[in-house]
Amino acid sequence: MYRVNEVFLSIQGEGPQVGTPAVFVRMSGCNLACGFCDTAHEDGVEMCERDIEAAIAHALGDFPPGQAYAVVFTGGEPLLQLREELVAPLKELGYALHLETNADESTAEQAPQPVRETLRWFDEIVASPKLSEWSPDIIAAATAVKAVVPSMVDQVHELLELGATVGLDRKDRVGRGFSRILQPQTPTGKLRNRDAHFATNCQLARKLAYDLCIQGGQLWRVIPQTHVWMGLR
């Protein structure tokens, strides 16, 4: 059994596939406690593999057929629960499987099976390390790395060390350039002055784009959380 927070259809608002439709399977629970986490993922219900498969189909509803649907496992930290018994049948049904993970070494240690067995079924793996101990197995399998940049940019240069970790010349599984993404931290919770917070977020995005990607010549992409701006989940 798996503990699942929610299954829903939306637009991918961050990462390499920003702007594309996907079914999100949000798993409950996490082994980290990041101050900028914007998801209330702790609650959930017990579901088996067949329940999750049915929930994905229900979320798609009358979505136009003939497309390679993406199913995004996120959380919380999905690798704390994911097993080959769940993801392999979904892959065989024709879904493109995407994963969002903190890539922490403790995640690999606490996973219910060796992460390499689970990760091999995924088409896209976005690793979002949090300045802790990164799992070599997860980083090696990742197709993109995403650094959430806090409003205080004094940590940016530490985050950019990820570039050396993943390699600047690395390619993803279909031969495209490996994605290294800087994501400005989006304010969480109910905001009294939402526009002011977003203005600050835009200012940080511009600073990252200019200082690091343009003037600094860093091979990173700046992608804010567009789904938050659009008021989507």
Judged against a pLDDT cut of 90, whether residue 192 lies above it is answered with no
pLDDT by residue (tens digit) across 120-156? Answer: 999 999 988 776 688 989 988 888 888 777 644 455 5
44 Cβ contact list (under 8 Å, min separation 6): 3, 4, 5, 6, 27, 28, 29
Tell me the whole-structure pTM to 2 decimals: 0.81
pLDDT by residue (tens digit) across 196-211? Answer: 656 666 777 677 766 7
pLDDT by residue (tens digit) across 59-96? Answer: 988 766 545 589 999 998 999 999 999 999 999 998 99
Q: What is the mean pLDDT of the chain?
A: 79
Query: What's the confidence (pLDDT) of residue 227?
Result: 58
Q: Structural domains in the chain? A: 2-229 (3.20.20.70)
